[in-house]
Amino acid sequence: MTSLDIDPSEILVRYNVKMEKAMTPEDAAAELYPKDELYRPIAEAIFEGEEDDVIEGLEKAIDAGKNPIALIDDALMVGMKVVTDLYDQGVIFLPNVMMSADAMLDGIDFCKEQSDEAPVSKGKVVCHVAEGDVHDIGKTIVAALLRANGYEVVDLGRDVPVDEVIEAVKAEKPIMLTGTALMTTTMYAFKAVNDRLLEAGLKVPFACGGGAVNQDFVTTYELGVYGEEAADAPKMADKIVAGAGISALKEEFHKH
């Protein structure tokens, strides 16, 4: 390069450096872990994303007399909430959430194997990628964040025919349906899903986002609620559980 150079502070601001919180993720997590000596190692293992340590902690808790199904809410979900809270606060990043969610799901499977009871989730959400669209990393993130926040996810996968979406909503009776699409050409399937749901009298909130999907488009159909970020999905579900209808969701999440 030529000798030309510049003091970058004259032309740009690294806001992320300027705004970074002083506390390390580990210190922030340590303040949030449960105090119970049986639950705390499980929560720590969730935060670290260490599946084997999660199982080991669960085994110890069960040996000590804890109910395996109760451990899902009392230890696994508590540990996961540490992770999702720190993600929402901007202290940790998405891959940490994904790895913790993997560990949590292994833990839930283990707890289920140890009991005849079925756990109760916060609510059921059906997720899909629009018909004709095979780009599914956005849906993968949405599903993981929903599970991380205690929701049961029915993942229909990618390139899901409209008929299949409608049948799943009829069968599963979810509190919310999500649809993601990368391409403008495939996102029109969302309108068809909306129309078919209305025909069937199924007024379920339909959270849509991804790639070329925008608020203007989602506003054109009655059940649509636009999610700008994957992290909006569990927040919408929380609002629905708290009693919000589609209008209230649009009011809150349609930011533009």
> Toward another protein, which CB reaches closer, 19 or 118?
19
What DSSP line would sit under 156-222, residue for residue?
Answer: --SS--HHHHHHHHHHH--SEEEEE-S-TTTTTHHHHHHHHHHHTT----EEEESTT--HHHHTTST
Name the 3-class secondary structure at 224.
strand
- Taking each continuous run of H as one helix and of E as one strand, the counts in the chain are 13, 5
Give the residue with the Cβ less far from another protein, 59 or 185. 185
Cα–Cα distance, 124 to 94 (Å, whole number): 22
- Binding of another protein by 4 (CB under 8 A): yes
| 8 binds another protein, rule: CB under 8 A | yes
Does 181 bind another protein (CB under 8 A)? Our answer is no
By the rule CB under 8 A, 46 interacts with another protein: no
Q: At what angle do helices 232-241 and 137-148 cross, to 10 degrees?
A: 40
Beta-carbon count within 10 A of 102 CB: 17
Dist CA 253 CA 256 (whole Å): 9
Residues touching another protein, count (CB under 8 A):
42
Residues in 110-169 that interact with another protein by CB under 8 A: 132, 134, 136-137, 140-141, 144, 157-159
CB of 157 to another protein, least distance (A): 7
**Crossing angle for the helix pair 39-48 and 77-88, nearest 10 degrees?**
40
| Min dist. Cβ of residue 253 to another protein (A) | 18
The reply to whether 19 sits near another protein by the rule CB under 8 A is yes
Q: Which of 6, 64, 118, 242 binds another protein (CB under 8 A)?
A: 6
The residues that touch another protein, with contacts defined as CB under 8 A, are 1-2, 4-8, 11-12, 14-17, 19-20, 24, 87, 90, 92-96, 98-99, 102, 132, 134, 136-137, 140-141, 144, 157-159, 183-185, 187-188, 212
